[in-house]
Amino acid sequence: MCQGSRLRVVCLAGPSDAGKTSLVERLVPRLAETGRVATVKSIHHDIEIDTPGTDTHRHRTAGAETVVGVTPALTFEVTTRGKRNPPDPDDAESLLESDDPEIRALTSSLERLARCGYDTVIVEGFADAPLPTVLVGDRDASAVGGTVVGRGDDPIDELVETIRGLDKLDASTDIAEHPSDEPTE
């Protein structure tokens, strides 16, 4: 049962093809050595992640807001509430403070992951989020919404320790309520 409420969150921000996903692939196994890790990826264009004609796709197109598929090896969830129409907040105070639907959608996802007991979440994209941020590529610190805590070309051991040392957030309040500090290098 999902019931946790605090998790460590770090954002990876940089231009396309800067190496964000490659860095995620290097960070996840290292961070997973000491706890549960989830990732959230910002996608800026519509994609179809459920094969048309399958039962789960048919459930969704029939009008289900959320469809959960359980296979022998994987469980997946498809929800119709993305960036354009994020879900209602769990805590009205936390999400309604942000008018940005992208940040509201991210906050809702982080709340769900926190309730499920994840320890660390790596967010790829969402550069405007007021989260501790690792800059990847030639992104400037002034172009992100959070405090810069590292760079993608820092040694992996240093990045892992930096992330492990981040304060855990109360996902239902900290993300939306606290404006970011001035980004620093």
Work out the average pLDDT over 65-89.
69
Task: Judge residue 151's burial from the number of C-beta atoms within 10 Å of its C-beta, 0-12 exposed, 13-18 middle, 19 or more buried.
Answer: middle
In this model, does residue 176 exceed pLDDT 60?
A: no
Look at residue 77 and tell me whether its pLDDT is greater than 60: yes
DSSP of 45-103: S----S-TTSHHHHHHHTT-SEEEEE-SS-EEEEES--SSSPPPPSSHHHHTT---HHH
pTM of the model: 0.76
Distance of CA 183 to the CA centre of its chain: 19
pLDDT tens by residue, 97-152 = 566 778 877 887 888 888 888 899 999 988 988 999 999 999 889 999 999 999 99
The kind and range of the H/E element at 176 are: helix 174-177
| Most confident among 23-37, 80-94, 95-109 (mean pLDDT) | 23-37
Q: Map out the domains of the chain with their CATH numbers.
A: 6-46+84-177 (3.40.50.300)
Query: Is 7 within 8 Å of 169 (Cβ atoms)?
Result: yes
